[in-house]
Amino acid sequence: MATVLVTGSNRGIGLEFARQYAASGWRVIATCRNPDAAAELGAITGDIEVRKLDMMDLGAIDALAGDLDGTAIDVLLLNAGINPQPEAPPSGGTDYVAWADAFRTNTMAPLRAAVAFAEHVTSSEQKVIASISSGSASIERNPGGNYVYRSTKAALNLCMSGLSKEFKDRGTTIIMLSPGWVRTDMGGPNAARSPEESISDMRAIIEGLGPEDNGRFVHYDGTDVPW
């Protein structure tokens, strides 16, 4: 049985990843900050284990990796993220305190998790690390504004691109995924795509990955996102 670990599984994209993988017969290790308050996650049926993990706590990432020592993880899905200024203020309105928190959650924590769970992934059959990035992280397409979120996701891409080269000899495939504009708490009710559609598309990409995909920044439709 294949195993997936999903961070930030209590809502939105992470919740739908957990739901779809569980429905497909995978073993799902779903993490969130407060499992007791994650009613929708707790209601998912199947081979699913909910574990407490606050991605702001880098030490907790290492501790969970230690608890799961010996567990092969076919797909490590690094999804947890925050957007503290979703209204995309101009540069003069940037919240620098929130920026530090966003950088820790959106960039530092996924890198720490990828390193902490590297052996778990390497020992699996599929050997995939997939980070949920954003098309808004593209420097080429950057329209300005929302510097906090855009910059932390662009930094995530840089870190994962570097890790894809560092881990290449292990047979690991590392990609960054852009889910599109999705109707979640973060994306809002007017977003173009449903979580079901976006996650189904991204799962298809993950399922079809080969060594040639290592290091790619991929849109949900399978096309490359410009850096």
Is pLDDT larger for residue 136 or for residue 130?
130
Q: What local confidence, expressed as pLDDT, does residue 191 receive?
A: 60
Q: What local confidence, expressed as pLDDT, does residue 110 receive?
A: 98
pLDDT digits (tens, 9 = 90+) for 95-116: 999 999 999 999 999 999 999 9
Q: Tell me the pLDDT of the chain averaged across its residues.
A: 93
Q: Is the pLDDT of residue 11 over 70?
A: yes
pLDDT digits (tens, 9 = 90+) for 181-196: 666 666 666 666 778 8
Given 3.40.50.2300, 3.40.50.720, 3.50.50.100, 3.10.20.30, which CATH number is that of 3-219?
A: 3.40.50.720
Is 75 in contact with 206 (CB distance < 8 Å)?
yes
- Describe the strand order of the beta sheet including 173-178 as a list of residue ranges: 48-52, 27-32, 3-6, 75-78, 128-132, 173-178, 217-219
Break the chain into its structural domains and give their ranges. Answer: 3-219
As a whole number, mean pLDDT of residues 145-174 equals 95
The C-alpha atoms of residue 186 and residue 67 are separated, in whole angstroms, by: 31
The C-alpha atoms of residue 22 and residue 222 are separated, in whole angstroms, by: 23
The C-alpha atoms of residue 166 and residue 194 are separated, in whole angstroms, by: 35
